[in-house]
Amino acid sequence: MTDLTRWMEQIDRVIAQGPYTDSWDSLFPHPAPRWFQDAKFGIFIHWGVYSVPAFGSEWYSRNMYVQGSREFQHHIETYGPHKDFGYKDFIPLFKAERFDAEAWASLFEESGAKYVVPVAEHHDGFQMYRSELSHWNAYEMGPRRDTLGELCGAFQRHGLVPCASSHRAEHWFFMGHGKEFDSDIHEPLHRGDFYWPSMPEPPHQDLFSQPYPSEEYLQDWLARCCEIIDRYRPGELYFDWWIHHEAFKPWLKKLAAYYYNRAAEWGQEVLIAYKHDAFAFGTAVVDIERGQFSDVQPYAWQTCAAVALNSWGYTDNNHYRAPADIVCDLVDIVSKNGNLLLNVGPRADGTIPDEDAAILRAIGAWLAVNGESIYGTRPWRVFGEGPTQVEEGQFTDFKKKEFTPQDVRYTAKGEHIYAAALRCAPDGRYCFPALGLHDAARKPLFHGIITDVDLLGYPGCCQWQATEGGLQIQTAGVMSDMPLVFRVRVE
């Protein structure tokens, strides 16, 4: 088992030698990278041992030990008693025999994504990369391949920014229910054991829950994060929610200082994505899980969402979203200064399901035509208009948004303003009030000179006129279930 002392000494040395120290004052402000602000669209990947049972969700490793749960009953009926077949026994079945990093990268490039965030370690504690800190990793067990390393190399070859996420923090309690009955999770457990430490599960939003993670656990968490940083140099390092617990606060500062100092050493722009208020505002990038803001924000932010509503990982009965709904979310998020990180869940054999791939290709086809209204843009003076209200907050993506042709989202770049109608008008008539003829003597309303309007992907199909009621547009013969983007040239 690797001595953590050496890791802690190295971390302290890098912090002492770099421009950033482990204090919020030193880490503030840390600007979101230009590449991130221009990219707008990324891919998230939940793939791991939980892809073998492919039941319920990627939380199978927890839920299979929760007595009375669907996963608990399914496990007994399918695999037998937990004391004879536990979660660790799925690892030899996780073979990834058809995993092809180049094929994944090619698909993600086709989707129009610009960066990719594979889960390096999920709550189950199985590392999807080569590690000196634990033998429970994909290089030594299961696939016996450095899957994260292969992906990062393929992403770079396809012009995608390689990133990574760590969900290790939640492992403190994630397997703890297995100690409540006769299972394969029991004491003694020590650092280096797969199930260590399996502590009692706290309320997930309790910032002060007991027992606090031990110093040994926190050192191990920090070392694992820094190992990912040094070995794979991710452009984005994403964390799930439980790092907001009070016990993690000093270690988050160390993590950020180490990462940002390494990036400065490499001449690389990087970001940390976090939820809630784990990091001090301005030191990293806010992420909203399966939801978004209802209004434009003055800072860069990110939404993480998934092609399936029921699970981040692959299951045999994933409930998929319609590509048009995801594109509407992308347009809405970008108009509000955000990025969309869209998750797919590959199978245990390493193949991406046809349903996931079809959604990504549909998004890519739309971006191939309309990408100039997304990539490299910035928010306009108003993010949008229309009757449909977007609910703000997490876990709202299951509520289908019934957008209308009057719902429009704006972005801007150079001499163009882009007006995206989120739904196609059957009569081909559109009105954009914010782009009308206004008296701007007192209020900061649009008062520019429009010289041309065209519809991306449909050259020569629209007529337009600026009036006091708005920019009036008439199209002919255009029908689509995707948003339509009008490019407005302004002098």
pLDDT at 464 over 80: yes
In a domain, 81, yes or no: yes
Q: Six-digit token pair at 483? A: 């948003």
The tens digit of pLDDT for each residue in 51-104 reads 999 999 999 999 999 999 999 999 999 999 999 999 999 999 999 999 999 999
What pLDDT digit, counting tens, does each position of 417-432 carry? 999 999 999 999 999 9
Question: pLDDT tens digits for 280-319?
Answer: 999 999 999 999 999 999 999 999 999 999 999 999 999 9
Is residue 137 in a domain?
yes
Query: Phi and psi for 249 in degrees, rounded to 5?
Result: -55, -50
The model's pLDDT over 356-388, given as tens digits with 9 standing for 90+, comes to: 999 999 999 999 999 999 999 999 999 999 999
Average pLDDT of span 344-353: 98
Question: Do residue 333 and residue 413 come from a single domain?
Answer: no
pLDDT class of 1 with cuts at 50, 70, 90? low
Q: Is residue 383 part of a domain?
A: no
Q: Which domain holds residue 407?
A: 401-490
Q: Specify whether the CB–CB gap between 88 and 79 falls below 8 A.
A: no
Residues 422 and 355 occupy one common structural domain: no
User: Residue 294's pLDDT is what?
Assistant: 97
Domain match, 221 and 88 both: yes
Q: Is residue 55 part of a domain?
A: yes
Task: Supply the mean pLDDT for the chain.
Answer: 97
One domain for residues 323 and 446: no
The whole-number average pLDDT for the span 40-45 is: 99
What CATH code is carried by the domain that includes residue 82? 3.20.20.80
Q: What is the mean pLDDT of residues 123-128?
A: 98
Residue linked to tokens 């699970």: 311
- Please report which confidence band the pLDDT of residue 440 belongs to, taking 50, 70 and 90 as the band edges: confident
Are 210 and 112 members of one domain? Answer: yes
Question: Model pTM greater than 0.85?
Answer: yes
In a domain, 162, yes or no: yes
Count of domains for the chain: 2
- In this structure, what CATH number is given to the domain that contains residue 459? 2.60.40.1180
| Domain membership flag for residue 385 | no
Assess whether 236 and 284 both reside in one domain: yes
pLDDT > 90: percent of the chain: 98
Angle at the Cα of 234 from the Cα atoms of 231 and 235, rounded to 5 degrees: 155
Model pLDDT for residues 147-160, shown as the tens digit of each residue: 999 999 999 999 99
Q: Could you tell me if 364 and 412 lie in one domain?
A: no
Question: What's at 400, amino acid-wise?
Answer: K
**Is residue 368 located within the same domain as residue 419?**
no
**408 in the same domain as 336:** no
The verdict on 45 and 136 lying in the same domain is yes
